[in-house]
Amino acid sequence: MGRRQKGRIVNGWLILDKASGITSTGAVNRAKWLFDARKAGHGGTLDPIATGLLPIAFGEATKTVSHVMDGTKSYHFTLRWGIETDTDDIEGDPIEHSDIRPDPADVERALAAFRGRIQQTPPKFSAIKINGNRAYDLARDNRPVDLAPRPIDIFDIHIADMPDGDHTVFSVTSGKGAYMRALARDIARATGSVGHVSALRRTAVGPFTEADAISLDELESFGQIAAREEKLLPVETALDDIPALVVTESEAALLRNGRAVSLLQKVDLQRIADFNQGDTVLAKTRTKPVALAHYAAGEVKPFRVLNL
């Protein structure tokens, strides 16, 4: 007999407003304890200094994490001019100084090169693996960290505020894998100065926004798990941007057993009229999601069943 898993079965998304000073893993573990949940994961790491949206998936929602991580993200970060650090943020040690403080026009001209598909070299203090080792572990041991540039998408970047001569606040909307620390570093260098991130906040992840968010302190104040569960969003909230296919109970039974469902009958054509070959679709009954499936050759084949 297998060991009984600890915790309750909890399914859904918690959109945490992470405080500064706690790791993403620490925040997930705390939320998991508050819900006494059996299984939890998150939809994209935030640095310890960062605040803002950390989507936490419980139970069956963990099967949709990759979809959230592939979505767009929005940030506000503050660039501190004149000091570059080894971590590219305020937690690192200074490695270079500059007296240059670019004016807004110089910054705006530099930003033109940071919009669209660009090449970015990640910070050496990052979780990227090099020959099986995390880059940050190599950096801490003063071992060589050779990270190749990689393509990222910056859909929008603009100046949000310039509170003083040493700081500029930027608003960014990016795709998967973009490091705001590296973006700040490279913007500063492009203006002839140096700089680092002194503050960072994530304001949106995929379909989730600040309107959905709640802090750990507020969750703890509720006292009762039932009250906390009212703050959970349904599993399918993470899949709002993919097409849905309403299936019958008999079709749902096939999909739950990993079997494909043919949609070539005349009565099915209206249901699939808007689908394209290779589309990922959310198969659902009238009351609950059933599976993520691929549509091709007139059938839907499940690749991730949701046991709800």
Instruction: Please list the active-site residues.
Output: 47
Taking alpha carbons only, the member of 221, 281, 173, 176 closest to residue 34 is 221
The H or E element that residue 205 is part of is: strand 195-205
Q: Are 237 and 284 in contact (CB under 8 A)?
A: no
Taking alpha carbons only, the member of 115, 203, 189 closest to residue 153 is 115
The greatest distance separating any two alpha carbons of the chain, rounded to the nearest whole angstrom, comes to 72
Cα 39 to Cα 55: distance, rounded to the nearest angstrom = 14
Q: Are 79 and 184 in contact (CB under 8 A)?
A: yes
Cα 42 to Cα 14: distance, rounded to the nearest angstrom = 9
User: Which DSSP string corresponds to 79-110?
Assistant: EEETEEETTSBTTS-EEEE------HHHHHHH
Q: Are 303 and 264 in contact (CB under 8 A)?
A: no
Taking alpha carbons only, the member of 81, 77, 39, 44 closest to residue 60 is 39
Torsion of CA 220, 223, 229, 233, to 10 degrees: -30
Residue type at 294 in one-letter notation: H
Q: How many Cβ atoms from other residues are within 10 Å of residue 90's Cβ? A: 16
User: Which DSSP string corresponds to 251-276?
Assistant: HHHHHHTT--EE--SGGGTTTTTT--
